Structure 1
């Protein structure tokens, strides 16, 4: 079986080549832990001893649904050195089983081997037919193996159990299987009774996860994009309700996937968030007292700083406008104005207080922190200006949704978590509630003005982001973009925050025409699923 070496990094951030190199070097140097692929076996079997704990999804009623369990299966295998006639043996096997003929012949020709798998997970009928054939050198055994009943559902969250070059025994690789490997594994007794591993219940709601995965696949195919990531979070507690990335993989058949598909982009890969970051710039400006939603600014369509010209995304001059309109119309120059009113030190303090450089400490392996290196290594005015609208700095999707959830949660930042076992009630206030009330209203006005994400009888707060992807070979930016939409509803008493990220769409480049309609559909589904009460009359 052939494996391709992964490009571990879908890279994110910076207006300059040196920051791109820094991120690249960081993640490549740390990439070893992300690229370990199963080498020796195509399944994970368990010897006698401790039983691995199960993993469960949940639903809105608190019911547990098995997501990863242990299952006994039949394996048909051969001992090539015992085979007397390769062609006859091959013919007899193919007469009873549907397997790859070329692979079968390759296994049969390994004449010194003592073990080659023919069929893993054979049906009872297949087992009986092979037994009836009595083929010399062909055997059947039953094993305990890890099984994922919903195949690829939440694969990036779950990970899988397997063997790689660092171990000869099955263990959790990637996802929750890896993060909680010790808890799940239990203790195999030598002179005493074995202690089975503990079960784990995820905060992932299976119904919401299914809807998120359908949407991620839909927008990738519809807009011919490279990938999509969707996270749904409860802003009141920090718990993750859904987390998915597409393309994905089937943990039951992980050996057939490329290693790069095992990486969870929502927590492990950075990117430049673009205009979605303007929400946090406005929040910092209002909280610091530098601006109010009604502060006015005259927009001339462009602004030159340190010899570089910043233009609005629509290449228009909007004239006299308020900060509310700056956010609603996503005016780059107006956002720079807000940052400049704060000053570099205050702006830096706020985004650092948001935890942009820190890990969120979600209970998933391999989390990456963000980067604001241009604001620390070369403190030029232009670096702060571009950072105000989300270019030249990098974040992870989990950090961005968590920061926006703090707006929804009245200024209190919760620690995100994905298993009920990890809820630690870690929270801290980063903004005054009066500030978040004002920013929320600004976000609602933005949605109402654009109409695309608007949902009848509900207030929705949200913000788009379309960010160009850096060119790490020649510097500057490519023509490829990442679309982001992040928002919460019902905005006056938020029950969920949704982040949708679409990488390299080809048929449409603007977030308003890709991820915003997707957000509206998914948000409508959740409002119905949770029986959310309308918070506005229209």
Structure 2
């Protein structure tokens, strides 16, 4: 190794600045001075360096000038260092890249080939929406096919603000406003409602009016087919037919009860969904054809229905009655008319209260009064406890427990036959017959005639009335129930009682629906209603003669007579319970008359009820004239001819 002065020196010897090794005496004294002396000074001979020691395992002396610690094995010191093979690393990297690319390629194949339809459908679902296509709601008609409720085709006019050209904007506003009677400012809001693609401008537009608008060819103006429910005026059946809501679904009356049949099945259409979820009706989409609803044909006769409504309303207004109902039916249960007072306009139903819209013929329960006496007498006759000629001693009043029962008009004690008890409408005489029958059997006949249970019409809001079980009757309830107090019924239940008598003792469940008609005009009749014999035909014939005496010269309902026809029927006058006090005091009266004609060959039954008339509240005076009016018209409409027979001489008094 060469020093700065060009001299070579031993590499093992430390340089001038090196510190002496530990244990070596420092240079100094004469030796140091002689080294710095003149040229004749003698150099010091080099020091012999001992060979290095082999390191000892597990320890050993510290290496001079460095930290103590084990030295690596000699084999490692002697082994030359080798770098990794770059080709091998490259092969590994390439292999990994190939594997990753194969995974990506497989996934792409799965998405674009195997699962492509699924992803395409999902993407399409994001922008397409399925909507219902309105269908034609079935009509409700009378027995002759005359419409009582029908659907007419209309148009819902809309604008697509994005499609309207700027130079057509004002013209679109003007045309829509003038043709459909709209506020120009409101139309302008719809026209300027970008980015919306669908803005309804007018509804229930007649097709003819839309066709005239469409001829202008204005871009961005369109229409959808829709339907509107229409109720012909003055059908007199609003309380029975009911109405539909804005969405076309039946809400009340037969519209609600028969909704599944009338509604049909809407079609399905896919429409594109624009910004903000707005539907674009002009977009193409798959469509499923709608299935029209079926028409419902009723047993009603439109003419009889209308006349009954008019006669009822006129009499109710004349007497200042709170309400009323009228029913016309056949002995076999088919209802030809069912009217109510007051009524309403179904096209504007929101303007009327729920009470005004209720079908009182089934929703209003009342005490039947003397019209119930026919059941008491029917049970006694059927059980063989009495006969039409059996004579009873009938005073004006009778005391039972703590209550005094009286007839409606004062009379001395009379000898009346069973015929006379019914013709004179004697409460006291009927109580005597009821006591013969007993509460258990009387209750059984009331149930058999249909009291205390639904009529079977399934009309909304039906009130089945009140008929307590005989074990719950107190001391005076048997006499009260015998002549029509202490229980309640609706008008349809009572009409069905007299239909049973007119039908020879067989009760047929009342019916309103004759059948349905499909889109091809094919008629499907309704199922036959259930029927049950309640009394024998002999008993029914005896009752018919007894009821005919009610309208005779000695009866309480001479106002129910119809020239040329034999008429059977019964008056009814009952006290009404005051809802505020829970007593009869101040509650007013319910006046009824129910009967059939011709009495010897019954074809029609008419029931009339007037709630709380302010004058002439006796059934023979208030309700019987309405019966006569309606029955006369119905007999002519149905072309029922008089039988031409004369009524027999019916014995009413025991001394005759």
Tell me, yes or no, whether TM beats 0.5. Answer: yes
Whether 1:331 and 2:426 are equivalent positions in the alignment is yes
- Counterpart of 2:572 in structure 1 is 465
- Counterpart of 1:245 in structure 2 is 340
TM-score (structure 1 length as normaliser): 0.77
User: By how many angstroms is 1:318 displaced?
Assistant: 4.4
Deviation by residue 1:353-394 (Cα, 9 ceiling, x = unmatched): 222122121143343323112x54632231111111111101
Structure 1, gaps ≥5 residues long: 1-45, 79-91, 164-168
Deviation by residue 1:94-147 (Cα, 9 ceiling, x = unmatched): 999999x9xx99xx9xxx9x9999896689789989x99x9xxx9998741111
- Counterpart of 1:391 in structure 2 is 485
Asked whether the equivalents of residues 595 and 606 of structure 2 are also in contact (C-alpha less than 8 Å), the reply is yes
Q: CA 1:255 to 1:472, structure 2 compared with 1: closer, same or farther past 3 Å?
A: closer
- Counterpart of 2:505 in structure 1 is 411
Q: Distance in 1 between matches of 2:201 and 2:394?
A: 69
- Counterpart of 2:138 in structure 1 is 53
Give 3-state SS (helix, strand or coil) of 2:321's partner.
coil
1:96-135 pair list within 5 angstroms: none
Give 3-state SS (helix, strand or coil) of 2:551's partner.
helix
Q: CA 1:95 to 1:468, structure 2 compared with 1: closer, same or farther past 3 Å?
A: farther
Whether 1:429 and 2:533 are equivalent positions in the alignment is yes
Question: Which is bigger in relative contact order (C-alpha 8 A, separation at least 6)?
Answer: 1
Give 3-state SS (helix, strand or coil) of 1:494's partner.
coil
- Counterpart of 1:304 in structure 2 is 399
Q: CA 1:468 to 1:117, structure 2 compared with 1: closer, same or farther past 3 Å?
A: farther
Q: Distance in 1 between matches of 2:460 and 2:577?
A: 26
Give 3-state SS (helix, strand or coil) of 1:285's partner.
helix
User: By how many angstroms is 1:409 displaced?
Assistant: 0.4
Asked whether the equivalents of residues 439 and 470 of structure 2 are also in contact (C-alpha less than 8 Å), the reply is no
Q: CA 1:223 to 1:96, structure 2 compared with 1: closer, same or farther past 3 Å?
A: farther
CA RMSD of aligned residues (A): 3.5
Q: Distance in 2 between matches of 1:513 and 1:76?
A: 57
Asked whether the equivalents of residues 408 and 494 of structure 1 are also in contact (C-alpha less than 8 Å), the reply is yes
- Counterpart of 1:520 in structure 2 is 628
Whether 1:211 and 2:307 are equivalent positions in the alignment is yes
Find 2:150's aligned residue among 69, 72, 89. 69
Q: Distance in 2 between matches of 1:98 and 1:279?
A: 61
- Counterpart of 1:507 in structure 2 is 615
Asked whether the equivalents of residues 229 and 248 of structure 2 are also in contact (C-alpha less than 8 Å), the reply is no
Deviation by residue 1:71-110 (Cα, 9 ceiling, x = unmatched): 13467999xxxxxxxxxxxxx99999999x9xx99xx9xx
Tell me which structure has the larger Cα radius of gyration. Answer: 2
1:442-521 pair list within 5 angstroms: 442-449=546-553, 450=555, 451-477=558-584, 478-521=586-629
Asked whether the equivalents of residues 152 and 249 of structure 1 are also in contact (C-alpha less than 8 Å), the reply is no
Of residues 479-488 and 523-532 in structure 1, the stretch that sits farther from structure 2 once superposed is 523-532
Whether 1:278 and 2:373 are equivalent positions in the alignment is yes
User: By how many angstroms is 1:347 displaced?
Assistant: 1.3
Give 3-state SS (helix, strand or coil) of 1:219's partner.
helix
Whether 1:263 and 2:358 are equivalent positions in the alignment is yes
Find 1:319's aligned residue among 399, 407, 414. 414
Q: CA 1:93 to 1:332, structure 2 compared with 1: closer, same or farther past 3 Å?
A: farther
1:225-236 pair list within 5 angstroms: 225-235=321-331
Whether 1:200 and 2:278 are equivalent positions in the alignment is no
TM-score (structure 2 length as normaliser): 0.64
Structure 2, gaps ≥5 residues long: 1-130, 160-174, 269-286, 516-525, 647-656
Find 1:171's aligned residue among 244, 249, 252. 249
Q: CA 1:221 to 1:253, structure 2 compared with 1: closer, same or farther past 3 Å?
A: same
Asked whether the equivalents of residues 502 and 596 of structure 2 are also in contact (C-alpha less than 8 Å), the reply is yes
Q: Distance in 2 between matches of 1:247 and 1:116?
A: 37
Give 3-state SS (helix, strand or coil) of 1:470's partner.
coil
Asked whether the equivalents of residues 155 and 210 of structure 2 are also in contact (C-alpha less than 8 Å), the reply is no
Deviation by residue 1:214-256 (Cα, 9 ceiling, x = unmatched): 1111111111111120000111x21101001011111122122
Q: CA 1:512 to 1:67, structure 2 compared with 1: closer, same or farther past 3 Å?
A: same
Asked whether the equivalents of residues 274 and 465 of structure 1 are also in contact (C-alpha less than 8 Å), the reply is yes
Give 3-state SS (helix, strand or coil) of 2:570's partner.
strand
Of residues 293-302 and 427-436 in structure 1, the stretch that sits farther from structure 2 once superposed is 293-302
